[in-house]
Homo-oligomer: A and B are copies of this chain.
Amino acid sequence: MSDFTVVHQDKETHARCATIHTQHGLVHTPVFMPVGTQAAVKTLSAKELKECGAQIILSNAYHLYLRPGTDIIKNAGGLHNFMSWQQPILTDSGGYQIFSLALLRKFKNEGVEFQSHIDGAKHYLTPESIIDIQSVLGSDIIMPLDDCIEYPASYEMAKVAMERTTQWAQRSHAYYKKVQDKNACRQILFGIIQGSTYEELREASLEQLLGLDFFGYAIGGLSVGEPQDLRYTMLSFTAERLPANKPRYVMGIGMPEDILQAIECGVDMFDCVIPTRYGRNGTAFTSEGRMVVRNAEFKDDARSLDSSCACYTCKNYSRAYLRHLFNSSEMLGLRLVSLHNVHFFVAFADTIRRSIQEGKFLEFKEAFLSRYLSMARNN
């Protein structure tokens, strides 16, 4: 498919650079996608996201379906117009949210019935309706409804969830094929591999989903509480079984060290709420590790968060000022650290991309980690 092109393959690892062509433009991978669950990347404007270098952002079909509702977004001319973001958007189906946020869910008539986490109102969604919702949103990359379970899960529970995910994937794919031709906009559908931490289940999920020939594949069910070594084992096991000629996306990962690990396994796409969640709590990501802005050691520190950072926050504000904002409960503090963090993660993926192009991925990885982890341990 010409819509996905591997432009550089690392010689020492599975790391690679690629491009994904979407209806709102090209995405260069490896790419970090900031998360705007409710049609807003928390605290940040569309202009700031662009200035941070974000190529593509994530939103969530379940959340937007519940609030503001698809009619309102339809009348706004789709999600891009609604949130004033004209670059690519990937929408997660919200399978994870239905299973973690929604109340009293139960399977019924080939779908799932649940109560809204917002107002308790009853709703019923199917794999097909989740595709319809995302058609209305008009997102560039869409995800099928899946059953994503937490860690730890018993083998039996994990098997049931994996098999349900496969059945829903089959229905999603069939329905997508049927409606896609009628849509004005071209949307890209990914498959999601589940199977918790069981290699046998991951293998079965792969086998069942690869046959459906999705445009790309996501690895779901990681970063849900499992220990790091198990995460890396599953990541590597799953990623290396995914076809090389399709984009690979690991959902909800993660910390810089996890992203490096996943890229080494050949993963192309990442999303995570970490930059904004940590930003709101006053923790900044820097090339020298994490920094708790409120710490007393920064009270008189005239330096920027990260001397090697080109974001608006680092170009204009000192650690002392940011600490003052957090101590004074000034919302500007959350904003400025969130902005810095999003910039950090986006630029981090950009730098990795360049290192792969220059044949220096492992060299960069080692240099980054030795600098980053030395201080991260102290925080």
- What residues of chain A have their CB less than 8 Å away from a CB belonging to chain B? 38-40, 42-47, 67-68, 71-72, 75-76, 82-84, 299-300, 302, 312, 316-318, 320-321, 323-325, 327-328, 330-332, 334-336
Residue of B nearest to A82 (CB): B321
Q: How far is the CB of A83 from chain B (nearest CB, A)?
A: 7
Report the bound CA distance from A84 to B312 in whole Å.
Answer: 11
Report the bound CA distance from A317 to B82 in whole Å.
Answer: 7
A76 B331 Cβ-Cβ under 8 A:
no
Q: Which of A82, A84, A312, A332 has the most CB of B within 10 A?
A: A332
Residues of B near A327 (CB, < 8 A) are: 67-68
Q: List 6 A-B contacts (CB under 8 A).
A: A40-B328, A42-B332, A43-B332, A68-B328, A72-B300, A84-B316
A72 B320 Cβ-Cβ under 8 A:
yes
B302 A47 Cβ-Cβ under 8 A:
no
Report the bound CA distance from A72 to B298 in whole Å.
Answer: 11
Residues of B near A75 (CB, < 8 A) are: 300, 302, 320
Q: How far is the CB of A265 from chain B (nearest CB, A)?
A: 34
A39 B84 Cβ-Cβ under 8 A:
no
Residue of B nearest to A313 (CB): B45
B331 A39 Cβ-Cβ under 8 A:
no
B39 A321 Cβ-Cβ under 8 A:
yes
A328 B67 Cβ-Cβ under 8 A:
yes
Report the bound CA distance from A328 to B38 in whole Å.
Answer: 7
Copies in the complex: 2
B331 A43 Cβ-Cβ under 8 A:
yes
Residues of B near A42 (CB, < 8 A) are: 330-332
Beyond A40-B330, A331-B42, is A76–B316 a contact (Cβ under 8 Å)? Answer: no
Q: How far is the CB of A94 from chain B (nearest CB, A)?
A: 15
Residues of B near A316 (CB, < 8 A) are: 45-47, 84
Q: A39-B324, A68-B320, A75-B302 are in contact. List 8 more A-B contacts (CB 8 A).
A: A43-B331, A43-B332, A43-B335, A45-B336, A47-B312, A68-B324, A72-B324, A331-B334
Task: Give 10 nearest A-B pairs by CB, closest first.
Answer: A68-B324, A84-B316, A38-B328, A40-B330, A40-B332, A43-B331, A75-B300, A82-B321, A72-B300, A84-B317
Report the bound CA distance from A43 to B331 in whole Å.
Answer: 5
Beyond A312-B45, A331-B331, is A40–B325 a contact (Cβ under 8 Å)? Answer: yes
Report the bound CA distance from A96 to B312 in whole Å.
Answer: 35
Residues of B near A43 (CB, < 8 A) are: 331-332, 335
B299 A72 Cβ-Cβ under 8 A:
yes
B82 A318 Cβ-Cβ under 8 A:
yes
B68 A332 Cβ-Cβ under 8 A:
no
B40 A299 Cβ-Cβ under 8 A:
no
Report the bound CA distance from A71 to B299 in whole Å.
Answer: 10
Residues of B near A68 (CB, < 8 A) are: 299, 320, 323-324, 327-328
Q: Which of A43, A68, A71 has the most CB of B within 10 A?
A: A68
Residues of B near A334 (CB, < 8 A) are: 331
A45 B335 Cβ-Cβ under 8 A:
yes
Q: Which residue of the partner chain, among B76, B312, B331, contacts A320 with CB atoms under 8 Å?
A: B76
B45 A76 Cβ-Cβ under 8 A:
no
Q: How far is the CB of A279 from chain B (nearest CB, A)?
A: 11
A324 B45 Cβ-Cβ under 8 A:
no
Residues of B near A71 (CB, < 8 A) are: 300
A45 B321 Cβ-Cβ under 8 A:
no
